[in-house]
Structure 1
Amino acid sequence: MTRPQSPQTPHRIALLFNANKVYDREIITGIGNYLLSTRVAWDLFLEEDFRCRLTGIERFDGDGIIADFDDPAVSEALRGCPLPVVAVGSSYEDETHYPPDLPYIATDNAKLVSLAYTHLIGAGLPHFALYSLPQAPENRWAQQRELAFAGLRAAEGRSAEDIDTEIYRGLSTSAPAWNQATEQLTGWLEKLPKPVGIIAVTDARARHLLQACLIAGIAVPEQVSIIGIDNDPLTRTLTRIPISSVIQGTEEMGRTAAHLLHQMLHGARFPGRRIRVPPVGINVLESTRHQPLASPYVMRARHFIRQYACQGIRTEQVADYVGVSRSSLEEYFRRELQCTVHQEILRHKLDAAKALLAKRDASSAEVAIRCGFTSLQYMYAVFRRELGCTPREYQERTKSTAAPGQA
């Protein structure tokens, strides 16, 4: 039973989420947005990782709970809890995997995978694969994404045996097993037909894929295009090649969960109600900008340029990496891309500079250094020649064209 409330007394609500994960943080953000938009008064109990003190949570002296049910330990701990509880987590093909007596807000795994798959098809890729997680009770959501991928492939006539080779679970990427996990992942990558588009069940898995490709010298996205799920800004910070990612509807999940609990605190009941929330869209970045190329030398050169353009590399260094003469590489570039190697390096520098200027209030001098321009004056000359404006004018232009609240 909930505690008696006066109009001035806020409800005491426990949010059982792992705030170290972007998925959980965005659900919490959605809950917070609901409270701000409705001016609902809740006193929130939240730990960075509640699982450390999960024992006894069913005796929480409060009024309601919103919890991440992807971890079976949470479902077990809250079994028989007398408080109103709203469950949040993965969607399941098998209805028996849902808690039978609770409202449940789910991310739609089938639509997440379908959106990623359709994007890779649109990028012109002929082969597909999925990088998942080892089977475990806490990874049931990942196995649901495997089922969604397998269903899409089966619908296109792929045999069960072929689909098995396209799905790889690998090892858990703990520190002691990191090298072994990367070696085994590299072995799987090398056996896949190229070019191939790979869906990773999380951005963390996508980052591991990218690292394995870089170690093995596999060009991304020319040979392997990678798309993750979560749109985690930390992943983008930690990778030399920005990774495309499906944006989950996590904030909407949080808002919906808060709305249901708000109603339940005033007597409403929704036993067994299921709400699936679709993805928002895709943040398309460099890892899936696949451009079919005939020359392996151009593929390898672009792979190198994509990683090191902002470190001030020169055409000679690219040619040394590829293993051909400068004149031969220039000929391959003119034939395939209708530009010189220097122009391709400069394009990446310019794109990086534009991204920095648009994202935050960075100084032009800082941007010039970070993007590998030899001087601030040279960067100004490149901006005027290519864009018809100075870096500062470009920054002001992007601010003025941003949507309200985003400038």
Structure 2
Amino acid sequence: MSPHRIALLFNANKVYDRQVIAGIGHYLNSTRVEWDLFMEEDFRSRMRDIHHFKGDGVIADFDDPEAQAALSDLHIPVVAVGGSYHDPSHYPAGVPYIATDNTRLVRLAYDHLIEQGLSRFAFFGIPSHPGSRWAQERERAFLAIVGQESVEGVVHEGHSTTAGGWGAAVEELVAWLTALPKPIGIIAVTDARARQLLQACVIGGIAVPEQVAIVGIDNDPMAQLLTRIPLTSVIQGAEEMGRTAAHLLHQMLRGVDCSTTRVLVPPVGINVQASSRYQPLRSPHVMRASHYIRQYGCLGIKTEQVADYVGVSRTVLEEHFKRELKQTVHQAILQHKLDTACQLIADSDAPLADIAVRCGFTSLQYMYAVFRREYDCTPRQYLDRHRTADAATAEHRDP
């Protein structure tokens, strides 16, 4: 029996789509299902010629407004993947639909900011257009949450990003951030928009997270690479969406009627990083210095450079640090290097020598010496402890 020919209609330049596709791949690799998969060579989703597709089934991103119209009269099984809707009538009729739960994505981000002790909130979305229905759903969810809890919340959609309009868009974003009451927690509709917030805060001299704490959605590795301040982000259950979609299509190919199936997939969790670890600071000097250290602490900066950035003498800055944080500026820089190193050791496969360089240690030997002094273990022992703790947590969750 020849493999079924299946079209995957996704824009794999987006991390969410890539994760859904990965989930489909995991399903195929964990079962005996054999599919001959079609995707555009540049991994874009195009509806052109789809009616001439001589295949057996389709899994498509229905956040694309063209998808529903183009696939509505296709006489082969179709499984839809997309965002959830508060109004059930907005779901497409007659096709199984696997949705990321937009309300729970926003709720997880909001609850995290609440736990940080914040009481003001904002949402940074994108301008409304036919392809951004998922973004409007997240914006609506935010407004519903702050409305229910009677807390202060504002929405800003900003401008679409283009090369020509980038300068004006950043200036407008800096002006909006500057005018916000502070401290405030901001939920960005995606990590891409969260990255713009971080850039604007750097340009505007706004301390993150002491003045503005930021949470994105997607947990996009690319966004992390392109920001100096590590970004907190909600992790969508996109791979589970892909596995569920593949399972449903597999059932449909065997004759099972799944046309009324609708599955809401909750977020996996939240990757907490520096952008949202809010701690109230009274001293504006410490706030500004901490913001600078988070951006450049791994680049070999010294106390004098931090004091120059803040605009005070080293003596004055040290006094503020000792009073507010009970540590010196040098100790704060070293702690930032250690925190970054621990994160990289736990979350990446990079060689320890590379991690030492990336974190601003003069050598691998020096990083070892600092780990022994501060944590009473070597970096490799720290990694072993982290893996053991993760294994114990996984065993507890899934006995």
TM category (shorter chain) comes to over 0.9
One-letter code aligned to 1:357: I
Task: Provide the residue aligned with 1:266 in structure 2.
Answer: 254
Which of residues 60, 66, 69 in structure 2 aligns to 1:73? 66
Q: Does 1:254 align with 2:242?
A: yes
Task: Provide the residue aligned with 1:196 in structure 2.
Answer: 184
Secondary structure of 1:227's partner? strand
- Map 1:115-264 to 2 at 5 A: 115-157=108-150, 163=153, 166-264=154-252
The offset of 1:325, in angstroms, is 1.1
- Map 1:383-394 to 2 at 5 A: 383-394=371-382
One-letter code aligned to 1:331: E
Secondary structure of 1:351's partner? helix
Q: Please report the TM-score for the alignment, with normalisation by the length of structure 2.
A: 0.94
Task: Provide the residue aligned with 1:293 in structure 2.
Answer: 281
Q: Does 1:305 align with 2:293?
A: yes
- Which digits, 9 at most, give the CA deviation of each residue in 1:110-147, with x for residues without a partner? 11111111110111112100000101000011000111
Q: Please report the TM-score for the alignment, with normalisation by the length of structure 1.
A: 0.92
The offset of 1:363, in angstroms, is 4.0
Which of residues 18, 35, 47 in structure 2 aligns to 1:25? 18
Which of residues 279, 284, 296 in structure 1 aligns to 2:267? 279
The offset of 1:352, in angstroms, is 1.8
The offset of 1:50, in angstroms, is 5.8
CA contact (8 A) 2:231 2:273 kept: yes
Q: Does 1:91 align with 2:84?
A: yes
Residues paired across the two proteins, number:
393
Q: Distance in 1 between matches of 2:42 and 2:139?
A: 27
Task: Provide the residue aligned with 2:397 in structure 1.
Answer: none
Task: Provide the residue aligned with 1:39 in structure 2.
Answer: 32
One-letter code aligned to 1:290: Y
Q: Distance in 2 between matches of 1:147 and 1:84?
A: 32
Which of residues 324, 329, 335 in structure 2 aligns to 1:347? 335
Q: Distance in 1 between matches of 2:11 and 2:324?
A: 48
Task: Provide the residue aligned with 2:102 in structure 1.
Answer: 109
The offset of 1:97, in angstroms, is 1.9
Q: Distance in 2 between matches of 1:258 and 1:77?
A: 20
CA contact (8 A) 2:9 2:45 kept: no
CA contact (8 A) 1:19 1:48 kept: no
CA contact (8 A) 2:126 2:158 kept: yes
State the Cα RMSD in Å: 1.8
Task: Provide the residue aligned with 1:14 in structure 2.
Answer: 7
CA contact (8 A) 1:17 1:48 kept: no
- Which digits, 9 at most, give the CA deviation of each residue in 1:345-366, with x for residues without a partner? 0001112222333344544443
Secondary structure of 2:297's partner? helix
Q: Distance in 2 between matches of 1:366 and 1:249?
A: 31
Q: Distance in 2 between matches of 1:93 and 1:81?
A: 27
- Map 1:372-383 to 2 at 5 A: 372-383=360-371
Report which stretch shifted further, 243-252 or 43-52: 43-52
One-letter code aligned to 1:322: V
Q: Distance in 2 between matches of 1:217 and 1:372?
A: 23
CA contact (8 A) 2:13 2:43 kept: no
Q: Distance in 1 between matches of 2:236 and 2:244?
A: 14
Q: Distance in 1 between matches of 2:121 and 2:87?
A: 26
CA contact (8 A) 1:17 1:49 kept: no
Which of residues 316, 323, 330 in structure 1 aligns to 2:304? 316
Q: Distance in 1 between matches of 2:233 and 2:58?
A: 30
Secondary structure of 1:102's partner? coil
CA contact (8 A) 1:20 1:48 kept: no
Secondary structure of 1:82's partner? coil
Change (3 A) 1:364 1:260: closer
Q: Distance in 1 between matches of 2:161 and 2:227?
A: 17
The offset of 1:401, in angstroms, is 4.9
Task: Provide the residue aligned with 2:391 in structure 1.
Answer: 403
CA contact (8 A) 2:12 2:44 kept: no
The offset of 1:34, in angstroms, is 1.2
One-letter code aligned to 1:132: G
CA contact (8 A) 2:126 2:159 kept: yes
Q: Distance in 1 between matches of 2:390 and 2:149?
A: 41
The offset of 1:30, in angstroms, is 0.9
CA contact (8 A) 1:89 1:107 kept: yes
The offset of 1:318, in angstroms, is 0.6
The offset of 1:58, in angstroms, is 2.3
Q: Distance in 2 between matches of 1:272 and 1:131?
A: 34
Secondary structure of 1:403's partner? helix
Secondary structure of 2:391's partner? coil
